[in-house]
Amino acid sequence: MAPNSNVIICSFYTADDYYRAHGERLAKNLESLGVEYVLREIEKQDGEDWADICRKKVPFLAEVCAANPDKKVFWVDVDCMILELPEYILNSTADIIGFQRGYSSPLNIGYDRRARFWEPSFWGVNITPLARKMIADAADIEKESTVKATDDYFMEEAWRANCDNMTFQLIPSNAVVGMGTAGEGSRGAFFKFGASGNVAEFRGKVEQHISNNRGLKKRALDAAKKIEAKLPTSTSSRLRLIADTVGITGVLTTTKSNSETQERSALLARIQDTGKIGDGPKFEKAKALFEEKYMLNQTEANVISAANSFFYYASKPSNDSIYLAWWEKPFPGNFGDWLSPLIVNHYTDKKILFQLPTKLAARQHMIGLGSIGRFIKPNSVVVGTGISTDELTLAKGAKYVSVRGPVTARVVKESGGPEVTSFGDPGVLISRIFPVERTNTNNRVALVRHFTHKTIPLVLGENMDELDIHMSHPEQIKALVETLNQYDRVVTSAMHIFITCQSYGIPCALITFEGFEDSVHGSGIKYGDYAQGVGLESISPVAVGLNLSKIDFDNITTEHKIGTNKLDEVEQAILKGLSYL
């Protein structure tokens, strides 16, 4: 990228291994973008803690602004990454540009939801007098103040003092890797934030502004996290198990809309609720009313799309039903998670009703495909379920028919549960549900990303096509697997796309992306657990660069097809599990 003489980026870091390494990475990052920068190593003085270091950002930013009166100055936390600098950032005419607190959507704008307005990890300060006055005011406040506070406290004070007379620009949530709601024509992500863990440790120990609507539930969740962090791993695992089993996790992590959007949210919730129970007349009436009153945004369209999928399973012509737990979000659905109702539905005539994994389960239910072993309850029937980390205590009293692989089986045993000897992720049965014959392929490569990688700016090879993973309806899943079978090879960072390829025998490369290895939840044990569970050698994703046109995928492509005996075993496990319900 050609150097941009109108912009300078600044940051600092302390002289320790963690932050120095991130400083070196950020320097290389900015050099590759051709952007001028000021990156300074600062010495941590005796008695100083993380909060004391953070507040030094304010005078440092003021210093860089003063030294560069003709350049737009951007601050970026040293453990973050900038993938590119879009034109709407570089050429912004606003006094201040940045992310709203929590990288949130404009639908959540305002102080009723957030204690502060801005997210401090990325700030842009224009050359305008008002912008520079605000930064100077923040530095003056920090210099004179004796309160224990971090940088964003002083920046917020200066913002509140000057905002009536300033222009500002909010950067959309989609600009952050893993945030926002992607849709057709969405802006790509340019920013990846880091997290050292110090924020949680110091929350409550430094001066903070107070939101107008910081509810009891949020305070309870914060308190629970603080307590858990101080407990031994074995103790915290068992407390987490209790919270997940009785539904406390679901209660504390559910949010409510503010008053201005309550009616709209209530109608959208009615569509979801009636879809989940298969009430056709009420479902269709609620959808028609919503579409008559409102122009759908992308998030709402995604919710209704998922509701249609719930309705498909819940409205089957049967007087009997079973409850099944799977991850419903992110809407409109993640291919891998929605394989669970698809596959179970194939083996039963009963209606499939949704059991939210995090909520209390009043009825016996099945837990199948997915890394949701943490949410197994005493009244769960477990078929092929896996885990994403082995630092768990699983419900020992559940009915264990099968699990994903030997790693999950070990944790079941260590938790006091039975010895499970039947293995296999139910996703391997996709080729029996949608039989597709691979004949002539198209001499091209399909890329399918994990949904957390959706907004990473990638360069595709000339022979590559990207296919989307956001779906939930059986017809969409059928169309995707038929399309995958047309390609010579699949490259994916989504485990259940990889499993699908092995079900059909499609050559596939399992990857992740350099700098984004931690984007997919868990410790990575699920890949080896799956592979060993179907009788293959353990496997892990291979980290590749963002320019896929430069990657030779031949050496990391596997060509396996799950054998008939294993498919039979997984199929029998599902049938046995259904017999208990």
Picking from 5-9, 74-78, 93-97, which range would have the lowest pLDDT averaged per residue? 5-9
Query: Nearest 5°: CA angle at 178, between 175 and 179?
Result: 60
Q: What is the pLDDT of residues 96-151, one digit of tens each?
A: 999 998 888 776 666 666 678 888 899 899 999 999 999 999 999 899 888 888 89
Number of H helices, E strands in the chain: 20, 19
Residue in 509, 504, 524 with CA at minimum distance from that of residue 448: 509
The closest alpha carbon to 116, from 227, 203, 197, belongs to 203
pLDDT band, residue 313 (cuts 50/70/90): very high
More confident residue, 311 or 521: 311
Whether residue 508 contacts residue 382, with contact meaning beta carbons closer than 8 Å, is answered with no
Residue 205 in this model has a pLDDT that exceeds 70 = no
Distance of CA 187 to CAs 87, 124, 191, 457, 465, Å? 11, 19, 12, 10, 19
Per DSSP (E only), the strands in 52-116 are 72-76, 81-82, 96-100
The pLDDT tens digits for 343-356 are 999 999 999 999 99
Query: How do residues 215-245 score in pLDDT, each as one tens digit?
Result: 455 556 556 666 666 666 656 565 556 656 5
For the segment 556-561, the average pLDDT, to the nearest whole number, is 95
Average pLDDT, the chain: 88
pLDDT band at 50 (very low <50, low <70, confident <90, very high): confident
pLDDT at 325 over 80: yes
Q: Which H or E run contains 543? A: strand 542-544
Measured distance CA(334)–CA(496) in Å, rounded: 10
* Dihedral over alpha carbons 509, 183, 306, 296 (to 10 degrees): 180
**Where are the alpha helices (H) located in 415-457, listed in sequence order?**
430-433
Contact 457, 83 (CB under 8 A): yes
Longest dimension (CA), the chain: 75
Question: Looking at residue 318, what is its pLDDT?
Answer: 96
Task: Give me the pLDDT at residue 225, please.
Answer: 61
Band (194; pLDDT cuts 50, 70, 90): confident
* Overall pTM > 0.95: no
According to DSSP H, which parts of 466-563 are helical?
Answer: 474-484, 495-504, 525-533
Pairing of strands 542-544, 508-513: parallel
pLDDT at 193: 85
Asked whether residue 260 carries a pLDDT value surpassing 50, the answer given is no
H/E stretch holding 158 reads helix 151-162
The lowest-confidence range among 86-100, 216-230, 337-351, 510-524 is 216-230
Give the per-residue pLDDT at 363. 94
Query: Which residue in this structure is represented by tokens 């914060």?
Result: 222
Which SS3 state, helix, strand or coil, does residue 306 take? helix
CB 520 within 8 A of CB 469: no
Lowest mean pLDDT among 111-120, 243-252, 395-404, 543-552: 243-252
* 1 confidence band (pLDDT: 50, 70, 90): very low
Residue 263 corresponds to which tokens in the numbers above? Answer: 């009616």
Q: Is the pLDDT of residue 251 over 60?
A: no
User: What pLDDT score was predicted for residue 16?
Assistant: 87
Amino acid identity for residue 101 in this structure: R
Full 3-state SS string of 243-305: HHHHCHHHHHHCCCCCHHHHHHHHHHHHHHHHHHHCCHHHHHHHHHHHHHHCCCCHHHHHHHH
Residue type, 245: T
Under DSSP, is residue 86 helix (H, G, I), strand (E, B) or coil? coil
d(CA 327, CA 319): 25
User: First CA to last CA across the chain, in angstroms?
Assistant: 60
Range with top average pLDDT, 14-23, 153-162, 209-218, 527-536: 527-536
- CB contact set of 246 (below 8 Å; sequence gap of 6+): 360
CB 503 within 8 A of CB 536: no
Q: Is the pLDDT of residue 421 over 60?
A: yes
Full DSSP string of 8-19: EEEEEEESSHHH
Average pLDDT over residues 549-570: 96
Candidates 559, 563, 575, 493; CA nearest to 535 is 563
Residues 283/285/286/291 CA torsion (nearest 10 deg): 120
The Cα-based distances of 486 to 29, 182, 433, 481, 502 in angstroms read 38, 26, 18, 9, 15
Under 8 Å between Cβ of 341 and 372: no
User: Helix 495-504 crosses helix 525-533 at what angle (to 10 degrees)?
Assistant: 20
Whether the predicted pLDDT of 280 surpasses 90: yes
Backbone φ and ψ of 341, nearest 5°: -65, -35
- Read off the pLDDT band of 75 (50, 70, 90): very high
- For residue 116, the model assigns a pLDDT of 81
